[in-house]
Structure 1
Amino acid sequence: MIAAQSAHAALGSTPMTPPADASVTSRLVQPAGGAAQSVMRSASGAASSTASSASSYTVRETTLGNGTVVREYLGTDGVVFGIAWHGPQMPDLSVLLGSYFPQYVASVKAVRAARGNTRGPVSVAQSGLVVRSGGHMGAFSGVAWLPSALPAGVSGSDIQ
């Protein structure tokens, strides 16, 4: 059995420190009507280009060595307000969701109990936390965000 590669980020906290075998890219998203600018970074964090203007948020994409891609959505304060993932292995949600993980687990238990403990895609939509996760062996995906932390002009559908 292959162990899931750990990602070290947490919703509502700082972005992950990428593993040595990961590749990282960052895209600064400008306020409405502005253009996006890409900044390529190595796993060590060295930038190959720099951003010249402020942005409403940053999308930081990390491709882990196992092929799983984790996108972190960072506010101008550097705090993660949204996370998306897809790939052959499910990331460790306890790490990605951080302090929100117990709330997620309780909600999943309630949803599954209400529908007869069936497996399948899970959607948690609360005022303080939204998580959608699903997939099957070799193809997992999901998104999570903090509605109250979304920057002005950003909606949950922007977390992809």
Structure 2
Amino acid sequence: MPCRVRRAVLMTALGLSCVVPAVQSAHAALGGSPMTPPAGASVITQTVSSAAVMHAASGAASAASAPSSYTVRETTLGNGTVVREYLAADGTVFGLAWRGPQMPNLNDLLGTYFPQYLAGVEAVRAARGGHGPVAVEQGSLVVHSGGHMGAFAGQAWLPQALPAGVSGTDIQ
């Protein structure tokens, strides 16, 4: 990989790590515990049955995939950014979604998966160059992120951790 591309990816990552901490930090971790909401944040929690999701998507729940429930925690940060955490029955975060005027701190949100995400971004940038939306789709991690100043959005999930009847398209 050309040194220029590697340097650009590194500078982007360093820039995000310097700028994003100024944004309210969410302190959640994909594959780990849900976030501790920062001061001034509001939280709404909802339990969802994957049978209801499956019914809406396909017309009926199949007998082959037993329905399960999961919890969606929506945290609105003080800056207006909304972070949705998708929690399995055991309380671990299997998916995340965000939207709002500022990017959340992906280092905090992705936790131990952040280095894998950076490597995926580097590979995407090396293959197509430039900036813009990024889709990192690997066997153990999927992250879609994009937007522009004042309007960012993205999703991240662990395919192997999705409960029965839940797909990546349910992470919104």
Q: 2:120 aligns with which of 99, 107, 118?
A: 107
Work out which of the residue numbers 97, 105, 117 in structure 1 matches 2:110: 97
Q: Which runs of 5+ in 2 are unaligned?
A: 1-18, 54-67
- Amino acid corresponding to residue 87 of structure 1 in structure 2: G
Q: Which moved more, 1:24-33 or 1:14-23?
A: 24-33
Deviation of residue 33 (structure 1)? 4.1
Structure number with higher helix proportion: 2
Write the distance in 2 (CA, Å) between the matches of 1:147 and 1:56.
Answer: 16
After TM superposition, give the deviation of residue 31 of structure 1 in Å. Answer: 3.8
Q: Contact 2:26–2:37 (CA<8 Å) still a contact in 1?
A: yes
Following superposition, the deviation at residue 69 of structure 1 comes to 0.1
- 2:90 and 2:159 map into 1 onto residues whose CA distance is 16
Which structure 2 residues correspond to residues 38-117 of structure 1 after superposition, within 5 A?
56-116=69-129
State the shift of 1:20 in Å.
Answer: 1.8
Amino acid at match of 2:77: L
- Select the structure of larger CA radius of gyration: 2
Aligned to 2:136: 124
Counterparts of 1:31 and 1:154 in 2: how far apart (Å)? 6
1:30 & 1:156 partners in 2: Cα distance?
15
Contiguous gaps of at least 5 residues in structure 1: 35-54
The letter for the 2-side match of 1:22 is A
| 1:30 shift after superposition | 1.9
Q: Percent identity?
A: 73
Deviation at 1:56, TM superposition (A): 1.1
Matched, 1:16 2:28: no
* Counterpart pick for 1:25 among 44, 48, 63: 44
Q: How many residues align?
A: 139
The alignment's C-alpha RMSD in Å is: 1.5
Tell me: CA distance 1:33–1:67, structure 2 relative to 1, closer, same or farther (3 Å): closer
SS at match of 2:96: strand
The TM-score, its normalising length taken from structure 1, stands at 0.84
Runs of 4+ in 1 over 4 A off after TM superposition: none
Name the CA distance, whole Å, in 2 between partners of 1:85 and 1:30.
21
